[in-house]
Every structure is written in structure tokens, then in C-alpha cells.
């Protein structure tokens, strides 16, 4: 498969697709409920603005957080000017939506009203706001008990302008960056991704008129750009220049993605290139059909086929390696020190850090790779539960490159993931 076909298929698979119909229906129903209270009109879907990734048209399939501004009537400003105003307006919006969706989880969260649609795995964050003459919005903040300014229209315009200048490559690259984030557990918000993509295109005109035949080089250069970025606490958002917080360093994973791009480019035209692009962008990358010399059952499952994936938090796993008569050792320390992992060892994979608020569910994948796994017809790879809370117990048995991945599932969405390589260097005794 040609490079252009790989990336055309990838982008097609990343489209929000049929979910957009459901999103639009939910958006309109929320707007109708608020218009009925605030403007005494029935059935109107006016006075709202979709913002965030969905509003900037950079969202991908599996999007779960949907940001929406409900534009309040201007004549209500004076009624909500006091310190209690932000909380009162948010409570009013919450009550309107609870009346519309009595069986749905709805609550106020500082600046927004969160509406969790469990059947669709969508979470709407509805922000009531007054629109100003310059296109900015004043929104309520219950923490500061005041009204603050946001500029989503400026961000939407900056995205569109860059997208037009780059022959739609701004949005193409932003969507591929989100696929990388969700596949590799990179903790980055959508606005930070779009801001970094925008900054990348401000440093080069190389890809302004390029089609998908050049996307392998484009993503390579983008990940090099990310890997070389200095550490920062925040960036100034595209268009609005408002602060966007950096939750966690992204440079190490960008460097790994850059190196994988180099490998995939070197393998152009081979089936191995598809697999390497998959390590960067996930299952949206098509696989090249090849005939194996050995017959084995491909039992690997993919978390994307079971849950929506929208990474917004971090999780870190490690593994305690044990054997009778030996002191327990952490696998990541062994990998760092290049200490070989031998057969007949006990392995307890554990969560060492998790930024996801409880409650949540933990899922695991144990995948065996290589000739030995195929010869034994034992590649595994199913999505499984913990052996005991927060722990997956395994045992080394045969040589090969094995991989263990952990997924944190909250409200039916994968919000964090981590992976660790398990290279076993000798056959079992």
C-alpha cells in the first residue's frame, strides 16, 4: 500500500462519523431546554456555540468531552453581577437540564454544567456565558465567584485560517496528533494539541501545499518539532493567546514517535511499515495483509473496539519480578540497567501512579510477540481484568518480545493508559 493510501485511510478512520448525528441531536435538545427557560421560546436551537475540539473541527472518533457555550440573554447581566451570580446561573442551567434529563448525571463543576450521557459515552460541558461586542464571552467561575473572559471564536478563526493556508493539513495533522495521544497515553488537552500544530506550521511552509503522499515526512517533522520543544508550564493558545496548561511532559513520547516514523519511512512498501505506523497512530492505520509461514490464532483484541478512548489523565505501571531465593526487582529498573529477564519468574504488574479520580475500572492486555509465540499458538492479547485489585499476575515462560498494557476506564471511556515491554531472554527450563 502506498504512503498516500495509508494516510488517506488513517484520516478516514479517524472521522467522528455517525456519532456526529447523535452529538448534534443532544446539542439541540440541550439548547431547546435552555431557550425555553431563558427566552420563553419552544423548539429553538439558536444561541449556542460548539467550542473545543469539536467546534474547531479537529476532533476524532471516540471524542467524549463536548464543549458548548449557551449564549445568555444580554438583559440578564445585571441580575447575576453579584458574587453569588456565577453559582446561581450555573445552578439554573443545571436545574433546566435535570428537568429535561431526569435520569442523567448532571452537576455543576466550577465553570460548567457537566451532562454525562452514559448510553452514548458523551459528556457535554455546558457553559452559560454573555457575549461581548468584540466576540469574546464572559463566563461564570464559582471558585473566584466572578465572571471571566474566554475567546473561543478567536481560536476557531485561527484554526480555520491556518487550515485554509495549509490545504487542510492543519486539521489533518491535529487529528493525527490526537490519534497519537490516545494510542500512546500522552496527557495533552485538545487546545494544547491544536496550539502546537499551529506553532509547527508557523515554523515551516514545506507542507502548505502538500497532499497525503508527503504526510509521512510531515508527521516525522512534527514529532521532531515536539521533541525539541523546551519544557514549559503553559503555552499561549492559538488565536486567543490565553494560557493553556501543560499537564505532563510530552517530549519523551514525541521522541519515541519520531524514531518510529524514521523506521516506518525506511520500511516504505513493506508490511512492517504499516505495523510501525500503527505504533504511532493506533488501529486506525490499515494493516497490510500478509501470509504467515506459520499458522496461529490471532487472538489480539484492541481496547478501541470495546471502549471510546480519550486520554486526559496519566497512569504508570511497573512490574515486580520475583523468584524463590531472589530479591524482588522492578522491571523498569532491569530494563534501564539492561539486566536480562529470564524464564520462570513471577511477574506482578502494578499501578504505581494514577491521576484518574476514583472510581474507575482497570483492564489489562498481555501480548506475546515473535516466532516462539506463533509457534506455540499463544500470542494472547485479549482485554482482561486484574488478578487482584490494581495488579495483574503473570509468569515468564518463553523467549520473545512480550508487551503488557494497562487501561483505566472511567464512565465507560478509556481516559489513561500505559505500556511496558517484557523482553524474555531465554527459554523456559
In a domain, 242, yes or no: yes
* Domain identity same for 108 and 214: no
* Domain identity same for 140 and 176: no
Domain of 407, in residue numbers: 294-424
User: Which residue do the cell numbers 508550564 mark?
Assistant: 233
Give 346-401 pLDDT, tens digit per residue. 899 999 999 999 999 999 999 988 777 888 888 899 999 999 998 999 987 777 78
In a domain, 273, yes or no: no
Three-state secondary structure call for residue 24: helix
Three-state secondary structure call for residue 325: coil
Handedness of CA 30, 31, 32, 37 (dihedral sign): positive
> Peptide bond preceding 359: is omega within 30 degrees of 0, i.e. cis?
yes
| CATH number of the domain enclosing 132 | 3.30.460.90
* Domain identity same for 66 and 188: no
Measured CA to CA, the distance from residue 74 to residue 15 in angstroms comes to 37
Give 218-275 pLDDT, tens digit per residue. 999 999 999 999 999 999 999 999 999 999 999 999 999 999 999 999 999 998 999 9
| CATH number of the domain enclosing 356 | 2.60.40
* Domain identity same for 317 and 340: yes
Give 131-140 pLDDT, tens digit per residue. 999 999 999 9
Cell output for 405: 498494557
Give 275-314 pLDDT, tens digit per residue. 999 999 999 999 876 655 567 888 999 999 999 899 999 9
How far is C-alpha 131 from the chain's CA centre?
30
pLDDT of residue 287: 86
* Domain identity same for 241 and 323: no
Measured CA to CA, the distance from residue 169 to residue 175 in angstroms comes to 10
Higher local confidence (pLDDT), 18 or 66: 66
308 neighbors 412 (Cβ within 8 angstroms): yes
Give 140-196 pLDDT, tens digit per residue. 999 999 999 999 999 999 999 999 999 999 999 999 999 999 999 999 999 999 999
Higher local confidence (pLDDT), 47 or 345: 47
In a domain, 245, yes or no: yes
In a domain, 37, yes or no: yes
Contacts of 133 (CB under 8 A, 6+ apart): none
* Domain identity same for 193 and 174: yes
> Peptide bond preceding 177: is omega within 30 degrees of 0, i.e. cis?
no
Give 26-37 pLDDT, tens digit per residue. 999 999 999 999
- Report the pLDDT averaged over residues 49-67: 94
Calculate the dihedral angle through the C-alpha atoms of 76, 82, 86, 91, rounding to the nearest 10 degrees.
-80
In a domain, 136, yes or no: yes
* Domain identity same for 127 and 24: yes
* Domain identity same for 230 and 306: no
* Domain identity same for 412 and 312: yes
Domain count across the chain: 3
Kindly report the pTM of this predicted structure: 0.92
* Domain identity same for 233 and 327: no
Higher local confidence (pLDDT), 400 or 107: 107
**Mean pLDDT score of the chain, rounded to an integer?**
93
Place 426 in a pLDDT band, splitting at 50, 70 and 90.
low
* Domain identity same for 211 and 91: no
In a domain, 6, yes or no: no
pLDDT of residue 338: 83
* Domain identity same for 187 and 237: yes
Q: What are phi and psi of 164, to 5 degrees?
A: -65, -40
Amino acid at each position: 500500500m502506498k504512503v498516500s493510501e495509508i494516510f488517506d485511510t488513517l484520516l478516514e478512520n479517524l472521522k467522528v462519523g455517525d456519532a456526529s448525528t447523535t452529538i448534534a441531536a443532544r446539542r439541540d435538545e440541550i439548547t431547546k431546554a435552555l431557550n425555553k427557560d431563558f427566552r420563553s421560546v419552544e423548539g429553538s436551537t439558536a444561541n449556542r456555540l460548539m467550542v473545543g475540539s469539536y467546534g474547531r473541527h479537529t476532533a476524532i472518533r471516540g471524542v467524549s468531552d463536548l464543549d458548548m457555550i449557551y449564549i445568555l440573554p444580554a438583559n440578564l447581566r445585571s441580575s447575576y453581577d453579584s458574587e453569588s451570580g456565577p453559582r446561581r446561573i450555573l445552578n439554573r442551567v443545571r436545574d433546566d437540564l435535570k428537568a429535561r434529563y431526569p435520569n442523567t448525571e448532571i452537576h455543576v463543576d466550577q465553570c460548567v454544567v457537566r451532562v454525562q450521557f452514559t448510553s452514548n459515552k458523551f459528556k457535554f460541558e455546558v457553559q452559560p456565558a454573555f457575549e461581548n461586542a468584540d466576540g469574546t464571552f464572559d463566563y461564570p467561575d464559582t471558585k473566584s465567584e466572578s465572571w471571566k473572559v474566554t475567546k473561543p471564536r478567536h481560536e476557531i478563526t485561527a484554526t480555520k485560517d491556518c487550515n485554509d493556508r495549509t490545504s487542510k493539513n492543519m486539521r489533518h495533522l491535529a487529528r493525527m496528533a490526537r490519534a497519537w495521544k490516545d494510542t500512546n497515553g500522552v496527557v495533552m488537552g485538545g487546545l494544547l494539541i491544536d496550539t502546537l500544530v499551529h506553532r509547527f506550521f508557523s515554523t515551516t511552509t514545506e507542507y502548505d501545499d502538500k497532499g497525503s503522499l508527503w504526510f509521512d515526512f510531515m508527521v516525522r517533522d512534527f514529532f521532531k518539532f515536539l521533541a525539541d520543544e523546551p519544557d514549559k508550564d503553559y503555552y499561549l493558545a492559538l488565536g486567543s493567546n490565553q494560557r493553556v496548561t501543560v499537564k505532563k511532559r510530552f517530549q519523551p513520547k514525541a521522541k519515541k514517535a519520531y524514531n518510529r516514523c524514521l523506521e516506518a519511512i525506511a520500511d516504505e512498501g513493506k508490511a512492517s511499515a504499516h505495523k510501525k505506523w500503527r505504533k504511532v497512530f493506533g488501529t486506525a492505520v490499515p494493516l497490510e495483509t500478509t501470509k504467515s509461514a506459520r499458522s496461529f490464532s490471532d487472538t489480539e483484541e484492541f481496547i478501541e473496539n470495546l471502549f471510546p478512548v480519550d486520554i486526559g489523565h496519566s497512569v504508570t505501571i511497573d512490574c515486580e519480578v520475583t523468584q524463590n531465593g531472589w530479591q524482588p526487582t522492578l522491571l523498569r529498573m532491569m530494563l534501564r540497567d539492561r539486566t536480562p529477564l529470564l524464564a520462570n519468574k513471577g511477574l506482578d504488574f502494578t499501578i504505581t501512579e494514577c491521576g484518574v479520580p476514583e472510581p474507575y475500572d482497570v483492564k489489562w492486555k498481555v501480548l506475546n510477540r515473535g516466532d516462539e509465540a506463533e509457534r506455540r499458538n499463544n500470542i494472547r492479547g485479549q482485554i482482561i481484568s486484574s488478578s487482584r485489585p490494581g495488579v495483574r499476575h503473570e509468569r515468564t515462560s518463553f523467549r520473545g518480545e512480550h508487551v503488557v498494557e494497562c487501561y483505566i476506564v472511567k464512565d465507560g471511556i478509556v481516559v489513561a493508559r500505559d505500556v511496558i515491554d517484557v523482553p524474555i531472554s531465554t527459554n523456559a527450563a
